[in-house]
Chains A and B, each alone.
Chain A
Amino acid sequence: MSPSEFVQQLVNALSLGSIYALLALGLSMVYGILGMLNFAYGELVTIAGYTMLFLTTQLDAPFIVVALGGILAAGLASVLMELVAFRPLRNASFVSLLFTSFAVAQLIQGAFRQAVSVRARGVPVPELFDEAVQLGSIRISLLSIITASIGAVALVTLTQFMKRSRTGVSMRAAAQDFTTARLTGVRANRVISLAFLISGLLAGIAGVLWIARTTSVNPATGFVPVVQAFIASVIGGLGNLRGAVIGGFFLGTLEVFLQATLPGSLLPYAQATSLLIVVAILYVRPQGLFGQRAVA
C-alpha cells in the first residue's frame, strides 16, 4: 500500500468509523441506562432511509431538509418505540427485553415490506457526494470527508452536552448507576425518554450518512448497521460511552483496511474476518477493551 493510498484509506476508515461510532454510542447509551440491548436500533436507520426516500421523491425537498427530516424521524421513532413497546416491560429480564426489541425490529421491517416494497428503492443524493478532492497525489472522496466531519461535529457536540449541561451530567450518572441516580432525584421516565431520543438522533445521523453511501433503502437496511453497532459497543465494553466511540472507529478501520488488503478471492469474507478478529479480542478480554471501568 503506497503512502497516498494509505491516506485515502485512512480517511475512509475515519468516515466509516464515525458512522459506527455514532451508532455504537446510541446503543451503548440505552444499554447503560436500562441495561437493555435494543435490537430494533437498526430499524431507526431504515426509518431514516424511508423518510429520506419519501421527502425526495414525493415532496422533492432540498437535500438538507431531507437529511434533517431523516434524523428527526429516527429520533421520534426511537422515543415512540420506548413508550409503546419497552415501557410496559420496564422490569422484565434482560432476555425478555432483548426479545421484545427483536420483535419490534421484525414488526417495523414487516410494515415497510407491506407498505412500500420488499425490493430496494434508490434514494437520490446530491451529485456533489460522488466528487473527489485532489490533494497532490491523494484523491479523497468528498463524501468520506463530509461523513467524517459530520461525525466529528456530532460526537464533539454530544460530548460537550454530556459534560457541560445539567441534563447531560444526570444522564451520565444514570448510565453509571441508575438506581443511585434515581435516589438523587433524577427522574427515571424523563431520562429514559431523553436517552432514547438522543440514541434515535444518533442513529438518524448515522442513518443519513449510511444512506448517502449506499444510495438505496430496503426493509432490511438496518441489519448491517445494527450488527456493527453491537460489535463496536461490545469491543468498547457495553455501556461505556467512550469505549463505544473508540470501538466504532476501531471496527471501521479494521473493515476498511481488510477490504483494501485482502486478496480478491477473500473479499467477500471481509466483514466475517473483521468479526472473527473482534471475537478473538473478546476471547482475551471478555469484558471488552474498556469494560467494567465505567467512564463516560
Chain B
Amino acid sequence: MSSPIPILRLRPALWGTVIIAVLLFVGMLAVRSGGTASAGRTYTVFLVNVMLVISIQVFIGNSGIVSFGHVAFMGVGAYTTALVAIPEALKTAQMPDLPTSIASLQLGFFPALLLSAVLAALVAAIFGGGMVRMTESTMAMATLALLVVAHTFFQNATTFTRGGLGLAGIPARTSLGLATLIAVGFALVGRLYKESRSGLRLRATREDALSSASVGTNVVGVRYGSWILSGALMGAAGSVWAQNVIAFNANQFYFAITFSLLAMLVVGGRSSVTGAVAGAAVITFMTDTLSRVEQGVRIGPWELPRITGTVQFAIALLIIVTLILRPEGIFDRWEVDDLVRRVVDRVRGRTRAPAAAVPPVPELAAVAPAEPVAEAPIALEGRDVVKRFDGVTALAGVDIDVHDGEILGLIGPNGSGKTTLLNVVSGVQVPTGGRVELRGEDITGWPAHRVTARGLSRTFQNIRLFSELTVRENVEAAAPADAGEAEVEDVIAWFGLTSVERQKAVNLPYGVQRRLEIARAVIRRPSVLLLDEPAAGMNESESDELLANIRRIRSVVGCAVVVVDHDLRLIMKLCDRIQVLDQGRTIATGRPDQIASDPRVVEAYLGAGSPAA
C-alpha cells in the first residue's frame, strides 16, 4: 500500500521527535559530563531499551494486538550480529562447526545492523503471514507460540548459537553518542509510521476492523505491514543490544526480557511513542536502582543485565498500580507535542468548542431537482441474491438495480433482509448465491475493502466510528490515497464538523456521530452510497436536515444512494424509487406514491387491515 504522508501529519511527528531528541541529548550530555562510568552504562541500556520498546510499540500500539513474540526478532538480530561481528578466531573457537563462509565474515556496525534488520523482517514475514489473519486474542496466543519456538531454536541450534552456553566477544561498538542518535532515529521512524496513512489506517482497525474494511482498508494487509516493520526494527535494536552487552546466551531471549519490555510499553502508554520512551526510562532506572540496592547477583565473568526477584516484583506491582490508575498507561494516547499544544492553548486562553455548538450542515444554494433516472446507466445491480445463515434464509433471491444519480429507498419489516442485502452487496458478508455487479464489474464475494476501493461506500445501522480517533483522523483514515489535505478539510467543513475536528469521535453527541459517519463515507467519493438507518433516533427536524443533506450529497458527489430506514416520512419524501422487502423477497418496487397505495406493501409492512402511512 503506497503511503504518502500528508504534510499536516508530518509536522506534529517532527515536533514530537525534536522534543524527544532534545531530552535524550540533554540526558546524554549530563551523563557524559557529570556522571560516572556506571551512569553512562545505565544510560546506554536505557537508550537500547527505548529502541526495543519503540519497535514493539509500532505493532502493539498501532494495531492493538498483543505480541509476546517480538523477543524472537530481537534474538534473530542479536545472533546475526554476533555471527558477523565476532572476530574470526574467537568465532571458530566458540563455534567450530560454523561454515567458513560465515566464520570469515566481518561486518562493521551499520552493515551488521542492516543485515540483522533484514533477517528479522524475513522471519517476521514468514511467521506473520498466518498470524495477522487471526482474531486479536488468538494472535496473542500464536505470538506466545512464536516465542517458545524461537527460544527452542536458539537453545538447540548450537552450531550457530551455542545454546545456553552463549556467545562472547562481540565488539562493544554501541557508544553513548551512537546509541542516542539511533534511539532518536527509532523515535522518528515510530512516529512517522504512526502518523503515516498506513499507520492511521492501522489505528483505525484497532478501533473497528469491520468499518475499517468498509472505508477501503485492507485490514490484514496493514497489520502485516506493521508486523514486518516492527520485526525489522526489533532486529536492528537486537543488533545494537548485542553490541552493547557483548556476550549473551539463548536463555536471555525468553520470558524475563519479554516481561520487562512489555512492562515498559504498558506503563508508559502503549499507543504513544512518547509513552514508550517514558516507560523505558521508568523501568530501566527502577531496575538499575533496585539492582544496586540488591547487589551481589552477578553471574559469570560478564556483567549481564539480569532481572532479579526484587526487580521483577517491583515491575509487576508497578504494572498493576499503573493499570488501575491509568488503564492506558501514563501517556495514554497522547504524544509529547499534544501535551505541549494543550498547555499552549490553555495559556492563550483557547478552549475547546463545546460539541453542542456544532452548526447545522450549511445550506447550499441549489439542490439539483429530482430528474427521471430510469434511463441513466445502472450503477449497482444484484441478481437473484441469496443469503442463508445456518438454515435461516435471510435473502431468498433478491434483485436490486440502482441507477446513477438515483435515490433508492429500501424498506420492509424487521428481519425482512434489508441490512443483509446491504452487507452482501458491500462485501461485509459473502452471498450464498446470486451475482452482484458494480458498474458492470462482477464483485460477487469480494472482500469489503476491495468493493469500497471500486466506489461503493456505506454506513452502519449501529454507528461504527473509530471511537478513540479524532473527528479529523476518522475522515483521514477513510480518505482515498490520492485525496489531499484540502479535500479532507472541505468534507469536514461541509458537514459542519470544523469546530470539533480535534475531538475524539466517542465524545460527540449522537446526531453529530451519525453525521461524521456519513462524512467518512463521502470522502471516498463513492459512486454508490449505502446508508443503513441514517435517521434512527432522530426527531423530525433532524430528519429533515438529513433529507436535505442526502440530496446535497447526491448532487455534489453525483452518486447513487440506497437508504434503508424505518422513518417512512423521510423515505417517502426523499426517494425517487422504493423497493419493499418481506421475508427475504422483493414484494414491490415503484415510485413513492405507487408504494404508498400498494395493498401488498400495506399488508406486509403495516399488518393486514391497517391504514396506509
Contact = CB atoms under 8 A, between A and B. Distances in A.
A133 interface: no
Contacts of A107: 313, 316-317, 320
Looking at B136, B317, B320, which has the most chain A CB atoms within 10 Å of its CB?
B320
Interface string A271-296: 11001101110110011100000000
A42 to B, nearest CB: 11
A231 interface: yes
Interface in B293-336: 309-310, 312-313, 315-317, 319-320, 323-324, 327-328
Contact of A279 (B142, B152, B266, B320): B142
Interface stretch (A93-101, A173-181, A187-195, A252-260): A93-101
Contacts of A287: 135, 138
A100 B131 contact: no
B255 interface: yes
A275 B319 contact: no
Contacts of A104: 316, 320
A99 B323 contact: yes
A187 B407 CA distance: 49
Nearest to A234: B141
A82 to B, nearest CB: 13
A106 B309 CA distance: 9
Given A102-B259, A282-B138, A231 B327 contact: no
A37 B312 contact: no
Contact of A272 (B127, B135, B148): B148
B413 interface: no
A275 B327 contact: no
B23 interface: no
B132 to A, nearest CB: 10
A88 interface: yes
B214 interface: no
Interface residues of B, number: 43
Contacts of B259: 102, 106
A60 B373 CA distance: 91
A92 B138 contact: no
B130 A283 contact: yes
A100 B319 contact: yes
Nearest to A270: B152
Given A276-B149, A279-B142, A98 B309 contact: no
B138 A231 contact: no
Looking at A99, A223, A275, which has the most chain B CB atoms within 10 Å of its CB?
A99
Interface stretch (A109-117, A146-154, A158-166, A196-204): A109-117
Interface in B210-267: 255, 259, 262-263, 266
B157 to A, nearest CB: 10
Contacts of A65: none
Interface string A139-150: 000000000000
B156 interface: yes
Contacts of A269: 152-153, 156
A238 interface: yes
B309 A230 contact: no
B541 interface: no
Contacts of A227: 144-145, 148
A118 B309 CA distance: 9
Nearest to A239: B137
Contacts of B145: 227, 231, 275-276, 278-279
Interface string B143-170: 0111011001101100000000000000
B148 A275 contact: yes
Nearest to B390: A293
Contacts of A89: 323-324, 327
Contacts of A278: 145
B270 interface: yes
Nearest to A288: B138
B140 interface: yes
A102 B322 CA distance: 13
Given A89-B323, A103-B320, A282 B312 contact: no
B573 interface: no
A268 interface: yes
Contacts of A98: 66, 140
B312 A106 contact: yes
A103 B319 contact: yes
A178 to B, nearest CB: 16
B134 A282 contact: yes
Contacts of B64: 95
A272 B320 contact: no
A85 interface: yes
Given A92-B323, A223-B255, A286-B134, A230 B152 contact: no
A85 B309 CA distance: 20
B312 A110 contact: yes
Nearest to B163: A268
B388 interface: no
A269 to B, nearest CB: 6
Given A88-B324, A99-B323, A272 B313 contact: no
A94 B137 CA distance: 8
A96 B145 CA distance: 21
A272 B138 contact: no
A31 B138 CA distance: 12
Contacts of A110: 309-310, 312-313, 316
B341 interface: no
Contacts of A103: 263, 315-317, 319-320, 323
B346 interface: no
B142 A282 contact: yes
A282 B128 CA distance: 12
B133 interface: yes
B283 to A, nearest CB: 12
A37 B134 CA distance: 16
Contacts of B138: 234, 238, 282, 286-288
B250 to A, nearest CB: 12
B309 A114 contact: yes
A102 to B, nearest CB: 7
A114 B310 contact: yes
A183 B129 CA distance: 41
Contacts of A231: 141, 144-145
A31 B266 CA distance: 21
A286 B324 CA distance: 32
Interface in B276-291: none
A223 B323 CA distance: 23
Contacts of A223: 255
Interface in A50-85: 85
Contacts of B313: 106-107, 110-111, 114
A238 B137 CA distance: 8
A275 B312 CA distance: 28
B131 A268 contact: no
Contacts of A85: 320
A102 B319 contact: yes
Interface string A238-257: 10000000000000000000
30 contacts: A37-B137, A85-B320, A96-B328, A99-B323, A100-B320, A102-B262, A103-B319, A103-B320, A104-B316, A104-B320, A107-B313, A107-B316, A110-B312, A114-B313, A220-B255, A223-B255, A231-B144, A231-B145, A234-B137, A238-B138, A268-B152, A269-B156, A275-B148, A275-B149, A279-B131, A279-B142, A279-B146, A283-B133, A286-B134, A287-B138
Interface of A: 31, 37, 85, 88-89, 92-96, 98-100, 102-104, 106-107, 109-111, 113-114, 118, 220, 223, 227, 230-231, 234, 238, 268-269, 271-272, 275-276, 278-280, 282-283, 286-288
Please list the 6 inter-chain residue pairs (A to B) with the smallest Cβ-Cβ separation, ordered nearest first.
A283-B130, A110-B313, A103-B319, A272-B152, A107-B316, A106-B316
